[in-house]
Structure 1
Amino acid sequence: MARFSAIFFGFSKQVLQTVATKKMPHQSLTHNTILYGTMKRIQDILKERILVLDGAMGTMLQRYKFTEEDFRGKRFADWEHPLQGNNDLLSLTQPEAIAEVHRKYFAAGADIVETNTFSGTTIAMADYFMEDLVYELNYESACIAKQVADEFTAKEPHKPRFVAGSIGPTNKTASMSPDVNDPGFRGVTFDELRIAYKQQVEALLDGGSDILLVETIFDTLNAKAALFAIEEVKEERNIDVPIMVSGTITDASGRTLSGQTAEAFLISISHIPILSVGFNCALGASQLVPHLEVLAAKTDFGVSAHPNAGLPNAFGEYDETAEQMAAQIKEYLDKSLVNIVGGCCGTTPEHINAIANLVKDYKPRNIALETV
């Protein structure tokens, strides 16, 4: 029902037609063939070289200094609730800026850019009372990224560019209580997460995403709901899609927020055929080394890493330069720990360029691609 009520908020003509016919824009034999071809192409590339993921979207958007008015645009000028900080919304109100960020990362050497959809679920969008816009937000974000990726692939066919649909953790957790006085309470159920993630996955694929990236996982039960939703969509559409899974080690304890070690996290998601498993956010590049070593030693999946630009300073800012970060990531390469590497909070095209220049001289870590 949410998708139908969203009509009243001014969907694009193409999305309206999609809703009216109940047929996804890209749900066709041709698109399914493209997805299968993309899977094979990415696997072939991973045999030859290390793939470079983009850096932070939020860090780049901060440079634009968008105001409340900018976030609203003309379309949401009269929205009853504050919208500043809803970065996903900028795909609708400032699409040129989103495309420009993607272009900068591709120009810097990235092979893959993430869609601007980190909070693109009905659960997260409830903070802005924009649940009915979720399909459009994800669809348009994927379209923007795919158009830019195709531009670069057309110019450099020898270096194809890909789009990873970013699937964030939401702002709720299924395995922990938000109320210390009621440890049995849960702010969200597995089924609520599954339904929300499924809507996001459908829209990301309809918009042209080549890969699905379940990232910044602090609660593995949330991630399992996302992976379950992806498997549902794959089965319903008879498609295969490369899946990247990336957890978050929250502190020096070496565990996720829900208490899992790197090995426990790996075991928890290994029942799904995925392209890669890795870690992002929370820690800087050097702090991730021991956790990546665990993954690299214990899995045949690809291993990914997109760490922060160091640890935040007292003002919540990241000071690590591109050169400093690249010097730390060199240890990943010297130890043959990763197949995909990029950046998270605080990273910019400069950081990604330094990483891209570095990985050119290294062979990828060996993986058993037949398991994907």
Structure 2
Amino acid sequence: MSRREDLKAQAAERILIFDGAFGTQIQNRKLTEADYAGDLGLNADQKGNNDILALTRPDVIADITRAYLDAGSDVISTNTFSANRISQADYAAEDLVRDINIASARIARELADEYAAKDGRPRFVAGAIGPTNKTLSLSPDVEDPGYREIDFDYLTGVYREQAEALVEGGADFILIETIFDTLNAKAGIMAVRQLSHALGRPNDDGVPIMLSMTLTDLSGRNLSGHTVEAFWNAVRHANPVTIGLNCSFGAEQLRPHVQVLSAIADTLLLIYPNAGLPNELGEYDEQPETTASLVGDWADHGRVNILGGCCGSSPAHIAAMAKRVAGVAPREVPKGDNTMRLAGLEPFVIAA
């Protein structure tokens, strides 16, 4: 059985649990520049480069991952949100992209296998790919609307480099997450498809893709202007093993958008909201029981297949979610049909 089919089989039996945030957990460790920089000899300060810790402080990443597994996570992600050539340029660490991704994936893979061996319950590794700090759909120059800092082919190559290393390190899936620009996501999809062909695994037998959109306002659009339904129409051709929403807001604000996506997506639904909204100091105050109660309501109404946490969430939040949804039936995935579903910024559906 492929890992795609294995995940689907597990998700048919129960609501699965994803992991939570890495960034806030790393911040809590109060690491120093020396912790980040190690002995790599890079020509820029590394403090804040969380991804590079897979090379310089792998024990920190392993400890956090282990804490999420102890909390009940079935799917764990790699700490590689910014481990791409574009983002790592800020730290003069572009040449370490492959090493960072392989190392981070191996940490997750080894721990996932360790926990699976203990109790026989499969654990899965999602190789996390963030959106970078560039956008293909919008110009950063208000005086030149047609200007782009990068083009589609370049971003596809950036994603391809990262995805290839994550798979080499042992990732089961490639998670293209926090998608604020739908065109960026399409570059990521293209990259994974190219990789699948290179590995001799084309089409549905290829490297499985997970997609997660992030909303930039309460109307339910991402930065490139797509509604949740339009986003799904624009990416459903990728046959993702999961589709979902993450970051943006807390569970309370995401509720109506989860409801929309749950009704139309003919694949597993993965939702991992922030632990509420940040306070005036940028910190997250929402308690684990509150988050668990909010996402538990989605579960009670058959809206979700996989639940986790994003910014501000902790192992305690994940443990509370796991406890809350234990025994609750998972969402029934709608059957696909031959309806033509197109999208500009709004969905366009042609009934059969």
* TM score, norm. by length of structure 2: 0.92
Q: Hey, what does 2:10 align to over in structure 1?
A: 45
Which residue matches 1:71?
36
Consecutive unaligned residues in structure 1, runs of 5 or more: 1-35
| Inter-CA distance 237–125: structure 2 relative to 1 (3 Å threshold) | same
Deviation of 1:367 (Å): 1.6
Q: Is the 8 A contact 2:180 2:224 kept in 1?
A: yes
- Residues paired across the two proteins, number: 333
2:299 matched to 1:337? no
Match for 1:173 among 127, 135, 140? 135
Q: Which residue of 2 aligns with 1:191?
A: 153
Shift of 1:69: 1.4
* Distance in structure 2 (CA, Å) of the matches to 1:335 and 1:242: 28
Asked whether the equivalents of residues 266 and 336 of structure 2 are also in contact (C-alpha less than 8 Å), the reply is no
| Counterpart Cα distance in 2 of 1:50 and 1:233 | 30
State the match for 2:54 in structure 1: 91
- The code of the aligned residue for 1:123 comes to I
1:253 Cα offset (Å): 2.3
What letter matches 1:208 in structure 2?
A: G
Matched, 1:262 2:228: yes
Q: 1:370 to 1:106 in 2, by over 3 A?
A: farther
Map 1:150-161 → 2, pairs under 5 A: 150-157=113-120, 159-161=121-123
Letter in 1 for 2:256: P
> Deviation string for 1:36-85 (max 9, x for gaps)?
63222111111111111000001110111011111111233xx2211111
- Kept in 1: contact 2:263–2:334 (CA 8 A): no
Q: For structure 2, list consecutive stretches of 5 or more residues without a partner in the other structure.
A: 338-352
CA-CA distance at 1:368 after TM superposition: 5.7
The Cα of 1:304 is off from its aligned counterpart by: 1.1
**Quick check: 1:174–1:222 contact (8 Å CA) kept in 2?**
yes
Partner of 1:351: 317
Secondary structure, counterpart of 1:320 in structure 2: coil
Equivalent position SS for 2:302: coil
The answer on 1:201 being equivalent to 2:163 is yes
Residues 1:370 and 1:237: Cα distance change in structure 2 (over 3 Å) = farther
Distance 1:82 1:228 in 2: 33
Distance 2:55 2:198 in 1: 29
3-state SS of paired residue (1:270): helix
- How far does the alpha carbon of each residue in 1:197-229 deviate from its partner, in whole angstroms, 9 at most, with x for none? 001111000000011111000000000000011
**Alignment match of 2:278 (pick from 309, 312, 319):** 312
Aligned AA (1:101): I
TM score, norm. by length of structure 1: 0.87
Matches within 5 A, 1:274-313: 274-313=240-279
User: In the alignment, residue 234 of structure 2 is paired with which amino acid?
Assistant: S
How much has 1:302 moved relative to structure 2? 1.2
Aligned to 1:62: 27
Runs of 4+ that moved beyond 4 A? 368-371
Contact 2:193–2:207 (Cα < 8 Å) also in 1: no
Q: Deviations over 1:13-37 (max 9, x none)?
A: xxxxxxxxxxxxxxxxxxxxxxx63
Secondary structure, aligned partner of 1:135:
helix
Q: Distance in 2 between matches of 1:206 and 1:145?
A: 12
